């Protein structure tokens, strides 16, 4: 996919530049030298990533007639701060050790505590510092969005979308917690959680933000495109994420193999496997899913169940279906031809197999 790869590269470098600029402006505001590790953690935590959310926002903006504007890149880049905040908190909540192949934020601060030989629990210090890092990234995301330099009328039009997205994200994460502890998840309930927690704020809402910013308001065709393209790409994206969480290469995911299985994530993939499992297979899942000590052998057995129940193939098929629907919805959308091509490429890039 050279086209979308090149497009993403351009957007990525603009987004990176905006994020560096924002952090550089924050640094002098925080005068105490002890704060430096917090800002350094924010910086490292923001590096890397495919910048998909800013890309959807950017192509929404261009699709509705927006021109190339550094302010738009800044507003779009703020979505990465929001995402980084969610990841820092997620890793505390899931007790994850790794993020993008590096120590997660709480492990990083824990290691700092151990190295300095400070008193008290290093683990607790790490978690607390990561909660605060997540909070800082969260308030900075709103600030970067608002101070992007976009015209006030554009920002005012998009602000309700932005606010709704953030409320939805927090509530979706809470639904996800509930889903884990209530145990009995169906495909539909897993889908709902995936949509609220990730799908919407990964694709549909970033796209809507870009469209509404450029159009200076919400119009029926915008909501239609966001629902038909954005939601379907969001679901396919989440299904791909489910598959990567179980079968993904650690070099690609930055997480240990089968990490989602150890965390007991109730994904659409797992729901589909459980729905088709024999009693023996269901028992295998019950005994191993969510076991934090799960070894390679257990991961392999669970993977086999997911393949043998046909859940893996079914989810791959669903990804194709959702992607197909999304691509078809682009045909009639009154967006620029350039954006139509780019959004098609982006949808494929966001949901493609990584092998």
Which residues contribute to the site for a copy of itself (CB under 8 A)?
26, 29-30, 32, 34-35, 38, 89, 92-93, 113, 116, 118-120, 125, 127-129, 131-132, 134-136, 138-140, 142-143, 146-147, 152, 159, 163-164, 166-168, 170-171, 173-175, 177-178, 180-183, 192, 196, 264, 290
Quote the least distance from Cβ 147 to a copy of itself, whole Å.
Answer: 8
List the structure tokens of 276: 């088709």
Distance separating alpha carbons of residues 320 and 351, to the nearest angstrom: 9
Nearer to a copy of itself, 180 or 325 (CB): 180
**Which residues neighbour 69 within 8 Å (Cβ) at sequence distance 6 or greater?**
61, 150
Q: Is 32 exposed, middle or buried, given 0-12, 13-18 or 19+ CB atoms closer than 10 A?
A: exposed
Nearer to a copy of itself, 93 or 102 (CB): 93
Quote the least distance from Cβ 116 to a copy of itself, whole Å.
Answer: 8
Question: Helix or strand or coil: residue 104?
Answer: coil
Quote the least distance from Cβ 349 to a copy of itself, whole Å.
Answer: 29
Query: What is the DSSP secondary structure assignment for residue 33, as one 8-state letter?
Result: G
Nearer to a copy of itself, 93 or 244 (CB): 93
Using CA atoms, how far residue 144 sits from 77, 79, 293, in Å, is 8, 9, 40
Region for residue 132 given its phi and psi (left: phi exceeds 0; alpha: psi -120 to 50; beta: otherwise): alpha
Nearer to a copy of itself, 134 or 230 (CB): 134
Quote the least distance from Cβ 196 to a copy of itself, whole Å.
Answer: 8
Nearer to a copy of itself, 216 or 340 (CB): 216
Nearer to a copy of itself, 166 or 340 (CB): 166
Question: Helix or strand or coil: residue 101?
Answer: coil
- Burial of 180-191, coded b for 16+ CB within 10 Å and e otherwise, reads beeeebebebbb
List the structure tokens of 88: 């820092």
Quote the least distance from Cβ 310 to a copy of itself, whole Å.
Answer: 26
Nearer to a copy of itself, 132 or 352 (CB): 132
Quote the least distance from Cβ 78 to a copy of itself, whole Å.
Answer: 13
Q: Is 24 exposed, middle or buried, given 0-12, 13-18 or 19+ CB atoms closer than 10 A?
A: exposed
List the structure tokens of 32: 């105490």
Quote the least distance from Cβ 14 to a copy of itself, whole Å.
Answer: 23
Q: Contact at 8 Å (CB) between 227 and 283?
A: no
Quote the least distance from Cβ 341 to a copy of itself, whole Å.
Answer: 34
Nearer to a copy of itself, 175 or 327 (CB): 175
Using CA atoms, how far residue 324 sits from 235, 301, 351, in Å, is 12, 32, 11
> Measuring CA to CA, which residue among 17, 78, 12 is closest to residue 49?
12
């Amino acid at each position: 996919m050279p086209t979308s790869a090149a497009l993403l590269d351009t957007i990525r470098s603009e987004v990176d530049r905006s994020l560096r600029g924002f952090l550089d402006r924050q640094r002098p505001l925080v005068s105490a030298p002890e704060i430096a590790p917090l800002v350094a953690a924010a910086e490292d935590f923001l590096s890397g990533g495919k910048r998909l959310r800013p890309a959807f926002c950017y192509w929404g903006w261009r699709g509705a007639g927006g021109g190339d504007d550094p302010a738009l890149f800044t507003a779009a880049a703020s979505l990465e701060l929001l995402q980084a905040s969610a990841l820092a908190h997620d890793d505390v909540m899931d007790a994850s050790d790794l993020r993008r192949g590096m120590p997660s934020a709480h492990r990083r601060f824990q290691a700092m505590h151990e190295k300095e030989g400070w008193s008290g629990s290093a683990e607790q210090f790490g978690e607390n510092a990561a909660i605060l890092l997540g909070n800082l990234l969260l308030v900075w995301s709103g600030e970067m969005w608002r101070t992007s330099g976009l015209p006030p009328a554009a920002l005012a039009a998009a602000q309700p979308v932005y606010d709704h997205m953030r409320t939805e994200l927090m509530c979706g994460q809470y639904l996800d917690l509930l889903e884990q502890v209530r145990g009995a998840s169906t495909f539909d309930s897993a889908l709902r959680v995936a949509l609220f927690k990730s799908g919407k704020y990964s694709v549909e809402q970033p796209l809507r933000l870009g469209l509404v910013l450029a159009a200076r308001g919400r119009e029926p065709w915008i909501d239609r495109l966001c629902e038909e393209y954005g939601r379907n790409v969001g679901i396919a994206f989440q299904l791909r994420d489910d598959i990567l969480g179980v079968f993904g290469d650690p070099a690609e995911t930055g997480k240990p193999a089968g990490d989602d299985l150890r965390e007991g994530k109730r994904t659409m993939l797992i729901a589909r496997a459980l729905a088709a499992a024999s009693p023996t297979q269901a028992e295998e899942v019950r005994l191993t899913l969510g076991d934090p000590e799960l070894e390679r052998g257990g991961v392999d057995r669970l993977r086999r169940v997911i393949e043998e129940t046909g859940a893996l193939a079914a989810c791959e098929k669903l990804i194709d279906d959702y992607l197909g629907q999304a691509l078809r919805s682009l045909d009639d959308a009154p967006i620029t031809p350039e954006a139509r091509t780019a959004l098609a490429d982006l949808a494929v890039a966001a949901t493609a197999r990584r092998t």
